[in-house]
Amino acid sequence: MTDFEHRRVVVTGLGAITPIGNTPEAYWEGLLRGQNGIGTITLFDASKHKCRIAGEVKGYDPQDFMEGKDAKRMDRFAQFAVSASSQALTDARFEISDLNAYQVGVMIGTGIGGIKVLEDQQKVYLTRGPDRCSPFMVPMMIANMAAGLTAIRTGAKGPNSCPVTACAAGSNAIGDAFRLIQRGYAQAMICGGAEAAITPLSLAGFASARATSTRNDDPAHASRPFDRDRDGFVMGEGSGILLLEELGHAKSRGARIYAEIVGYGMTCDAYHMTTPVPSGEGAARAIQLALKDALLSPEQVNYINAHGTSTPAGDPIETTAIKKALGNCAAKVAVSSTKSMTGHLLGGSGGIEAIATVLAVARDQIPPTINLVTPDPECDLDYVPNVARTQTVEVALSNSFGFGGHNVTLAFKKYV
């Protein structure tokens, strides 16, 4: 047995900018209330779009976390990531100094990156010519800049990277950060996901692919995972960031520990650009690999935060995958989709959903799946419909699946 297998990794800090709250506590309280974060788009004029609804972040001012001149040099997705990372470090009472900077890393995933800057600068190029494009366009647009800017602002000089695996990116970032600490490459990692893709071009692309809901006249009920009347996902935006630490390091400084991260499963369907393999085989293997990595059995799982996007194809396939992975235990596990409240944050979803999973373990509460009125017969698990539940959660999983066939499952358990 190698040394890294003895290195335990725990969650000591949380940061969240979401459509239902801009702190981890506000987000968590919103989840437990079943708060709807979906509304008519206000970020731009969406009147000509097929889909005119989204889960926008509300009441957010980047200058609460950074100076205005710095905010102007960041795309919105990077602003979200830097802000949530600042919250996570504050929450953990973790200081980065010359003494530990090389042992603290950053891993922040995104699916799309700085698309607003790209769209805005394309307009400048077409109307004013190439010489008028901003010199900040490229560094504001590129996907790795959330991780890079977070490191610049915090002084974290350890491992730094940016998974870009579509809607699995945030979970890949957390899993990869977990591995880096486990193997001794870092003592702590700032990790998660960020996205700000509620833009005209992005929305048009998803709508043309018939992926989004068109329940424009009823946004509060548009995101309805596992419900028979679902008609597509609703885009969201924001960032969820966790601070992971090696257990000994966390204990040595008297850190509060929310939960332990114990497993990471990652697979690919190798099937289709956008559609999951109908058998659910790839997702099922990700769940099984996470459990194997964690040395856990299906009987020990109490809760799954589902990918649950509210798409006609995706929800029943995930249901099948959970059944394949857990066997007879699947019917006994509470499963919920918090995307019913936040919408789908794409590459940012794994971050905020990992926070929900960690807090379910820490608080013994399970957030509901709202808008589940008429269950789909193909989706026949316990989806915690509409009302939060209080029950002991010793072990919880978080699923994230992305275009391209990417599948990720993270496993968390109570720290003892």
For the chain, the C-alpha Rg in angstroms (whole number) is 20
Q: Please compute, for residue 264, the number of CA atoms within 13 A of its CA located in the half-sphere on the CB side.
A: 18
In whole angstroms, give the CA distance from residue 357 to residue 365.
10
Helices (H), 115-210: 115-128, 137-141, 145-154, 169-182, 200-208
Cβ distance 348 to 78 under 8 Å?
no
| Closest C-alpha to 180, from 167, 161, 154 | 161
| Catalytic residue annotation | 167, 307, 344
Cβ distance 332 to 297 under 8 Å?
no
| Closest C-alpha to 104, from 34, 187, 182, 6 | 187
In whole angstroms, give the CA distance from residue 240 to residue 119.
25
Cβ distance 339 to 233 under 8 Å?
yes
